[in-house]
Amino acid sequence: MIIRTTKDIPASEITDPLVFRERRKIIKAMLATMVAGTGIAPALADNNNSAWANLPKGDFSADLLTPTPAELIKNYTNYYEFAFNKQDSTKLAQNLRTDPWSVEISGEVENPGIFYLEDILRQQVLQERIYRFRCVEAWSMVVPWVGFSLGNLLKTVKPLSTAKFVKFTAVHQPDIMPRQRNNAMLEWPYVEGLRIDEAMHPLATLAVGMYGDILPKQNGAPLRLIVPWKYGFKNIKAIVKIELLKRPPITSWSQFAPKEYGFYANVNPAVSHPRWSQNSERQLGSGFFSPRRQTELFNGYGEQVASLYSDMDLRHFF
């Protein structure tokens, strides 16, 4: 099984046009259908600070991951447009303006356009996707995202055969983003990229929710990329533009420090960061005395994604 999901919910099952006026309602309506369906993992039901509490236990796969408590995920964030420390970025991100939100999709495609997020959601199948998330700083968590396949969105604009890479650009709101205003550290706006085959892989996700609700602003609302086999910095938040390109884009972190943050950034315990080992990771919420987790190649998703890199020496293509 490639994608961990309780049940695929075709957006056509929630067709009330009023519902689509509000993002939260779309996601909630989808989740209501899920709960009525196959049931939810007990780990989610145990998290009693969210709407997941008291949900029926259901039929789930034995290797289902235990999600990190929502409060930890929400309060330990990297959002450099706002601040360089995890608490201030969480607080300041509440100022982000996310409504209305549209995404431009352009470049090497047959049908470029600017699309309201609600219109995108109407066309996509929302799923719950519970993935490991491994930061390059050597901490990790498990997040129950709500999202849809990036590849399915790209197919709607019909990529041309010349489209070899995908560039993602985050929002530019310097009036409320202090680090953009001060031109601090990275070139703004934040940019990330994938090869087209990576982008079309079924694990590559655009997340709009988490723990059964819309995404918290500090975690990337209203739309962020999730590529679970890559380090966290590839998972760009607050996406406003997706461009299909002939050539690799210049991405924010590899431009800032190319020896430390490569374009590929596949999780790899055998390739150390120049300043620390990537061999193991601290799992958020696991307790002070808990042993560190052994980091896995491709963050444990090798079975699904290793074939994308079969002709590459992963020690050199960081």
Dihedral pair phi/psi, residue 280, rounded to 5°: -140, 170
Q: Is position 263 an interface residue for ligand MTE (rule: CB under 6 A)?
A: no
Q: Is position 11 an interface residue for ligand MTE (rule: CB under 6 A)?
A: no
Interface residue with ligand MTE among 47, 68, 173, 219 (CB under 6 A) is 219
- Burial class of residue 36, CB neighbours in 10 A (0-12, 13-18, 19+): exposed
What's the closest the beta carbon of residue 231 comes to ligand MTE, in angstroms? Answer: 7
Interface residue with ligand MTE among 9, 55, 135, 191 (CB under 6 A) is 135
Choices 50-58, 232-240, 281-289, 310-318; region in contact with ligand MTE by CB under 6 A: 232-240
Q: Is position 295 an interface residue for ligand MTE (rule: CB under 6 A)?
A: no
Residue 287 CA to residue 282 CA, distance in Å, equals 9
Q: Is position 188 an interface residue for ligand MTE (rule: CB under 6 A)?
A: no
Pairing relationship of beta strands 293-294 and 205-210 according to DSSP bridges: unpaired
Burial 192-224 (b: 16+ CB within 10 A, else e): bbbbbebbbbebbbbbbbbbbbbbbbbbbbbbb
Q: Is position 55 an interface residue for ligand MTE (rule: CB under 6 A)?
A: no
Q: Is position 80 an interface residue for ligand MTE (rule: CB under 6 A)?
A: yes
Dihedral pair phi/psi, residue 116, rounded to 5°: -65, 140
Q: Is position 190 an interface residue for ligand MTE (rule: CB under 6 A)?
A: yes
Q: Is position 233 an interface residue for ligand MTE (rule: CB under 6 A)?
A: yes
Nearer to ligand MTE, 220 or 222 (CB): 220
DSSP H helices, 77-146, are 86-92, 117-123
- Point out which residues bind ligand MTE (CB under 6 A): 77-81, 135, 170, 190, 219-220, 232-233, 235-238
